[in-house]
Structure 1
Amino acid sequence: MARTTGSHSDITGPRVRAAALQLFARHGFAAVSMRQIAREVGVQAGALYNYTPDKQTLLFELMQDHMVELLEAVRDTPGPNPVSRLKAFVRFHIAFHHDRPDAVFIAYMELRNLSAENFREIETLRRRYETVLEEILVAGVEADQFEVVDTKIATLALIAMLTGVNTWFRSEGRLSLADVQDQYWDMVRKVVAAG
């Protein structure tokens, strides 16, 4: 099958993914058709299959890319002790997710639309990210810097709290992103009773 005039795989492929990301976030995975994605990109619907075998694969790859990028980026948040590592994690999580609202929305709201196999793979990546935070909490408890009864529950609660910033924070609002990071760090510090 001939490629659409002006279509280049290194250009059109990323455009397909960007259009799908935006449309899935705006309308929901189930409501978006391959035809809509093609229309947004400016190619015929059949041409999309040069870039993805189906809509499920497209959703999975968008989620997988987000999680892989997240896991690679979180490695750059070290610190000399659990308190500084936790502070770095809080600031990182808020900033990283703020810069990717569509990817974050899809990563949390469209899990139900993944096939069982794809769900397991994304869930494995999510667990790896949660483990980063849980290991910080465990280290803090062992060093008597944190008072946390159940590090797993604390991990899930903190991630939910930090991710929630995306639902209300707007850059043009009364607080800067740095202000929000500072206030959330203060709250997290109190939750884990860090000194």
Structure 2
Amino acid sequence: MARKTGSHSDITGPKVRAAAQKLFARYGYAAVSMRQIAGEVGVQAGALYNYTPDKQSLLFDMMKAHMEELLAAWEAEPKGEGPLTRLEAFARFHVRFHLDRPEAVFIAYMELRNLEPGNFEVIEALRKRYESELEAILRDGQEAGVFSLADSKLTTLAVIAMLTGVTTWYRDEGRLSRDRVVGIYWNMVRKAVGA
């Protein structure tokens, strides 16, 4: 079938990814068909294959893009000096970054189980790179006597899980502003590491 009148790859491609993200976040990867994604975009199902080889590639590409964007944004973030200042920068950054991307965050955590093994390895490596950034801060703080930790790896995973959890409940129209929420989360992280 010919391309739909008015369809352009630079417009339709992002629409395909946005529709897939919306549907995967709402119904779960396994429950969404390529036909549903096509319907959301307003194209024939066969037209999707002009933009992606298959549904697995769509999932992998959006998860990889999310992790690469996260790593690049953290790299560009001012971090300050000393473990406590760096930990505060990490906590505040993590909450702010994730609040703007609740669907991508949900998919990045909940759909790992649906990645094929090779794709899982790539995403897991990116996740570990990000986790290692926080773990290095925690280890530096522990060595400097600023933090009191039973286990730096476990604390890393617990802090990331706590910070990421904000995306499940926060609403802009709620009673707390983003800045207030970021400040409260930072205070909880500080207490969690004994600082």
**TM-score category (smaller protein):** over 0.9
Provide TM-score, normalisation by structure 1.
0.96
**Pairing 1:20-169 to 2, within 5 Å after superposition:** 20-75=20-75, 76-169=77-170
Give the TM-score of the pair, scaled to structure 2: 0.96
Report the Cα offset of residue 92 of structure 1. Answer: 0.7
Cα deviation digits, residues 152-171 of structure 1 (max 9, x gap)? 01000000111111111111
User: Could you tell me which amino acid in structure 2 is paired with residue 4 of structure 1?
Assistant: K
Structure 1 match to 2:2: 2
**1:4 positional shift:** 2.3
Provide the secondary structure at the position in 2 that maps to 1:19: helix
Other structure's SS at 2:3 match: coil
Q: Which runs of 5+ in 1 are unaligned?
A: none
Q: Return the letter of the residue paired with 2:61.
A: E
Measure how far apart 1:3 and its partner are: 2.4
Q: Which runs of 5+ in 2 are unaligned?
A: none
Q: What percent identity do the matched residue pairs reach?
A: 68
C-alpha separation in 1, matches of 2:171 and 2:5 = 40
Structure 2 Cα separation of the partners of residues 46 and 10 of structure 1: 18
CA deviation profile, 1:20-57 (whole Å, cap 9, x unmatched) = 00011011111111111111111111110000000000
Do 1:77 and 1:92's aligned partners in 2 also have CA atoms closer than 8 Å? no
Structure 1 letter corresponding to 2:120: F
For residue 129 of structure 2, give the secondary structure of its aligned residue in structure 1: helix
**In 2, Cα distance between the equivalents of 1:151 and 1:24?**
33
The number of equivalent residue pairs is: 194
In structure 2, give the amino acid aligned to 1:11: I
Alpha-carbon distance in 2 for matches of 1:181, 1:142: 27
Q: Say yes or no: does 1:15 pair with 2:44.
A: no
Query: Match for residue 192 of structure 1?
Result: 193
